[in-house]
């Protein structure tokens, strides 16, 4: 095995702020301890989570210099003591959720409910670098022959959308689903997962040039939310009944309108709030109409294995909007904040 390099390139935060606070750094190359694996990173996809952490807030307590990046793929280049079932040189996907592995939630297959749960790039060091050390339990199989950038685009959003659509939303044949932000990572994944389970899908996008792309993923109806009332479209498409499930990660006014779009007894599943954390909600709609509002974060390690199986088989398809070099991380953040992307922005680290 080639001797490890003493340092590695990285993009780091030393303070919160705009994209300009991302800066190049040379950091010590980490060494795996017992039960750990080191990954030589090939690509890391960006998420809105990266933007939130970079901007800062009371929930973020970072150890500087901090590395963002949750969606990591690469090659195993070193293993720690006790790791006997992972081969050096293997192409792998990194499961982005860290958990204790011993509590009732972890042992019950609900590791994303662990009291000690952390996410790489959020409250643990992430993948904006040439290497990362992770527990053996966070190594997942590579999905077939996908290019690095596509495999990186198939992790956190697809895992998040799987829990939202399948486990929380209970979507099945004949369901009607409204997917907010169909061009986002979660939106791209949710459209495909809902169609995989036999649903009719309505989705929203922010510009006319994204309508065809959303329909190309399988959406039955695509709506430009800037020029049409998606709640009215959803009710018209369902004979004024409303959709069974809303997949929501936008927040703000969009969340308020989602309540109008869902049927009596329907479900709204939310995993984020890119447009605002404090929507004004008329609770009478919630209790009189018996609407279920369900929170969702990430998904279990077992769910990721299921997702990767579908990706490897071609039933779920990651979408890459742009691939940029690691040094252009700030430009990637600007793309996300401008809502200019349809699909994922991915940073290439090595090939």
Q: Are 68 and 53 in contact (CB under 8 A)?
A: yes
**Pairs from 305-309 (Cβ < 8 Å, separation ≥ 24):** 305/140, 305/141, 306/162, 307/154, 307/158, 307/159, 307/162, 308/93, 308/140, 308/141, 308/143, 308/154, 309/143
Classify domain 7-154+318-348 at the CATH superfamily level. Medium-chain alcohol dehydrogenases, catalytic domain (3.90.180.10)
pLDDT tens per residue, range 144-173: 999 999 999 999 999 999 999 999 999 999
pLDDT score recorded for residue 253: 86
Position 2 confidence tier, pLDDT thresholds 50, 70, 90: very low
Token code pair at residue 179: 């997917």
CA distances from 233 to 65, 185, 195, 248, 281 (A): 47, 23, 19, 16, 21
- Please tell me the predicted confidence (pLDDT) of residue 282: 86
Taking the alpha carbons at both ends of the chain, their separation in whole angstroms is 19
pLDDT at residue 292 tops 70 = yes
Distance of alpha carbon 31 from the chain centroid:
27
Dihedral through CA 36, CA 10, CA 142, CA 166, nearest 10?
A: 90
Residue 269 pLDDT more than 50?
A: yes
pLDDT of residue 350: 78
Percent of the chain at pLDDT > 70 equals: 98
What pLDDT was estimated at residue 171? 97
Query: What is the Cα gyration radius of the chain?
Result: 20
φ and ψ at 106, to 5 degrees? -60, -45
- pTM higher than the cut 0.85: yes
Tokens of 257: 């309108």
Report the alpha-carbon distance of residue 325 to residue 346 in Å, rounded.
Answer: 8
Comparing CA positions, the residue from 253, 250, 261 lying closest to residue 285 is 261
DSSP string, 94-152: E--EE--SSSHHHHTT-GGG-TT-EEBTTTB--SSBSEEEEEGGGEEE--TT--HHHHH
Fold that domain 158-295 belongs to in CATH: Rossmann fold (3.40.50)
Residue 61: band (very low, low, confident or very high) from pLDDT cuts 50, 70, 90: confident
92-134 pLDDT per residue, tens = 999 999 999 999 999 999 999 999 999 999 999 999 999 999 9
In whole numbers, what is the pLDDT of the chain averaged over residues?
94
Adjacent-strand bridge partners of 42: none
β-bridge partners, 78: 38
pLDDT of residue 272: 82
The residues, ordered by sequence, that sit 6+ positions from 296 with a Cβ below 8 Å of its Cβ are: 160, 163, 164, 168, 269, 270, 271
Asked if pLDDT for residue 254 goes beyond 90, the answer is no
The residue to which tokens 């793309």 are assigned: 335
Nearest to 14 by CA among 58, 66, 80, 92: 66
What mean pLDDT is predicted for residues 26-35?
Answer: 97
pLDDT digits (tens, 9 = 90+) for 189-245: 999 999 999 999 999 998 999 999 999 999 999 999 999 999 999 999 999 999 999
**Residue 351 pLDDT exceeds 70:** no
> Which residue, chain included where needed, has tokens 């409910």?
113
Q: In the chain, list all ranges with CATH 3.40.50.720.
A: 158-295
Mean predicted confidence (pLDDT) in 15-25: 97
Give the pLDDT confidence score for residue 5 in this predicted structure: 60
Of residues 54, 76, 46, 75, the one with CA closest to residue 152: 46
Range(s) of the chain covered by CATH 3.90.180.10: 7-154+318-348
Adjacent-strand bridge partners of 293? 268
Q: Which residues contact 107 (CB under 8 A, 6 or more apart)?
A: none
pLDDT at res. 250: 83
- For residue 1, the model assigns a pLDDT of 40
Look up tokens 């399948």; give the residue: 166
pLDDT at position 294 is 96
Confidence band of 60 (pLDDT split at 50, 70, 90): confident
- The mean pLDDT value for 296-324 works out to 96
- Answer yes or no: is pLDDT of 285 > 70: yes
Is the per-residue pLDDT at 3 higher than 50?
no
């Amino acid at each position: 095995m080639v001797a490890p390099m003493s340092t590695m390139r990285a993009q780091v935060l030393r303070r919160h702020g705009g994209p300009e606070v991302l800066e190049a750094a040379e950091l010590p190359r980490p060494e795996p301890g017992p039960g750990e694996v080191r990954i030589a990173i090939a690509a890391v996809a960006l998420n809105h989570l990266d933007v939130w952490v970079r901007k800062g807030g009371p929930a973020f307590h970072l150890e500087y210099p901090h590395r963002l990046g949750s969606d990591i793929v690469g090659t195993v280049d070193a293993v720690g003591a006790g790791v006997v079932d992972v081969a050096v040189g293997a192409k792998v996907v990194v499961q982005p959720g860290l958990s204790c592995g011993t509590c009732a939630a972890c042992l019950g297959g609900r590791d994303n409910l662990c009291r000690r749960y952390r996410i790489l790039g959020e409250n643990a060091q992430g993948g904006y670098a040439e290497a990362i050390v992770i527990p053996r339990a966070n190594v997942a199989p590579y999905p077939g022959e996908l290019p690095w950038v596509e495999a990186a685009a198939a992790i956190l959003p697809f895992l998040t959308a799987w829990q939202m659509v399948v486990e929380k939303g209970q979507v099945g044949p004949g369901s009607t689903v409204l997917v907010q932000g169909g061009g986002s990572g979660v939106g791209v994944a949710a459209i495909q997962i809902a169609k995989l389970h036999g649903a009719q899908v309505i989705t929203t996008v922010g510009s006319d040039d994204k309508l065809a792309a959303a329909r190309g993923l399988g959406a039955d109806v695509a709506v430009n939310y800037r020029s049409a009332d998606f709640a009215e479209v959803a009710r018209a498409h369902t004979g004024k009944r409303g959709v069974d499930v809303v997949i929501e990660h936008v927040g703000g006014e969009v969340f308020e309108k989602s309540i109008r779009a869902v049927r009596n007894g329907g479900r709204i599943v939310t995993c984020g709030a890119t447009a605002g954390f404090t929507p004004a909600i008329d609770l009478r709609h919630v209790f009189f109409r018996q609407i279920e509002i369900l929170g969702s974060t990430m998904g279990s390690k077992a769910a990721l294995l299921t997702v990767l199986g579908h990706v490897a088989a071609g039933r779920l398809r990651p979408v890459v909007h742009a691939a940029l070099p690691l040094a252009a991380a700030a430009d990637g953040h600007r793309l996300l904040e401008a809502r200019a992307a349809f699909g994922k922005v991915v940073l290439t680290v090595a090939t």
